[in-house]
Structure 1
Amino acid sequence: MKLRDLSPLMARRRDGGLSHGRFRADPALASLHWPDDVLEQFLFDHGDNSAFVHDYGDVDLCEIRWSLETIPTEDFEEMPTGASDAGCIENFAKNPVHWVRVRPPEVGQHWERHGTWLRPPILIARWLLHPADTGLQVLEGRTRVGVLRGRRREGLHVESHHQAWVGHPAM
């Protein structure tokens, strides 16, 4: 199953006729056995975003297994995102205080207290996209990763490790 296969479901979601609860209960999505947070951030929020479809449209969604992992801060420094959004992480990193300020107050409070994001971003093993590639790529959470990079450069409180959902090839 690929993102394009979900276009009828995405059209119902886009038209407002499908809550997240009903969306995730769709048999096609339920068969993926993905964590709810990944379903929401990736498919519900962005499954019909043209940049996502361009960058991730050829990935077989059934071949991804997700795990919540702890990733060192350094790993996020050079981690890319999809080609359609190249450069956006660095744009967010230029003004991390602004990008936190325009979010709900609890986001900024969490950064100040814990030095990390409130909600884990979604990363994907680059091997799933291009078999010759290694490492991880930011699938969803480009603003969060940009804020992390920017806060680190500006000497603001940043923890040494951060949780993220990571998609690996199903074996």
Structure 2
Amino acid sequence: MKLADLAPLMERRRDGGMSFDRFRDDAALLPLRWPDDVLEQVLFEHGDNPSFVYDYGAVDLREIAWRLETISASELCEMPTGASDGGCIDLFARNPEHWIKVRPAPVGRHWEEHGTWLRAPILISRQLLDPPCEGLQVWEGRTRVGVLCGRHRRRLHVAPHHQAWVGRPRTAPSGSRSTHL
């Protein structure tokens, strides 16, 4: 199943003002078995975004196994995103205070108190991309990762490790950190 296969569902979501609960329960999504947080951030919010579809249209969505993982701040700050939004993480990192201020107040308080985000961003194994390669990249949450990198560069309070949803191939080689969700 590719993003293009979900175009009719995305159209119904746009046209009918579909709630996330109705979207999540659609029969087209049942084969995915994705956590609600991933489903909402990736498909419900961005599944028909042209840049997103361009960058990730070749990914077989059924082949992704999700797990909440702990990732170091330094690893996150080196992570790329899709080619269509290649410079956006750096753009957000240039002014992290602004991107925090335009969010609800609890977001800023959480950064100040805990040095991390309220909601885990979504990372994807680059083995799932076409062409496949090593490492992870930011699939959704570019602003959050940019804020993290900007705060890190400015030596503001940043936790050393952060939670993120990580999608890896379901058929990962033995010894990998992937689990089925």
TM-score, structure 1 normalization: 0.98
For structure 1, the residue ranges without an aligned partner over 5 or more in a row are: none
CA RMSD of aligned residues (A): 0.9
Partner of 1:8: 8
Instruction: Summarize the alignment of residues 15-94 of structure 1 with structure 2, pairs less than 5 Å apart.
Output: 15-94=15-94
Instruction: Summarize the alignment of residues 142-161 of structure 1 with structure 2, pairs less than 5 Å apart.
Output: 142-161=142-161
Contact 2:58–2:130 (Cα < 8 Å) also in 1: no
Contact 2:46–2:52 (Cα < 8 Å) also in 1: yes
Instruction: Summarize the alignment of residues 91-170 of structure 1 with structure 2, pairs less than 5 Å apart.
Output: 91-130=91-130, 132-170=132-170
| Aligned-residue identity in percent | 68
Report the AA paired with residue 152 of structure 1.
H
The Cα offsets for residues 43-75 of structure 1, whole Å up to 9 and x where unpaired, read as: 000000000100000100000010000001110
Shift of 1:28: 1.7
Contact 2:59–2:130 (Cα < 8 Å) also in 1: no
The Cα offsets for residues 79-137 of structure 1, whole Å up to 9 and x where unpaired, read as: 00000001000000000000000000000010001000000000000011045411100
Partner of 2:179: none
The Cα offsets for residues 24-57 of structure 1, whole Å up to 9 and x where unpaired, read as: 0011212211000000000000000000100000
Q: Distance in 1 between matches of 2:77 and 2:44?
A: 27
Q: Distance in 1 between matches of 2:118 and 2:102?
A: 14
Report the AA paired with residue 40 of structure 2.
E
Contact 2:38–2:165 (Cα < 8 Å) also in 1: yes
For structure 2, the residue ranges without an aligned partner over 5 or more in a row are: 172-181
Report the AA paired with residue 101 of structure 1.
K
How many aligned positions are there?
171
Moved over 4 A (4+): none
Partner of 2:176: none
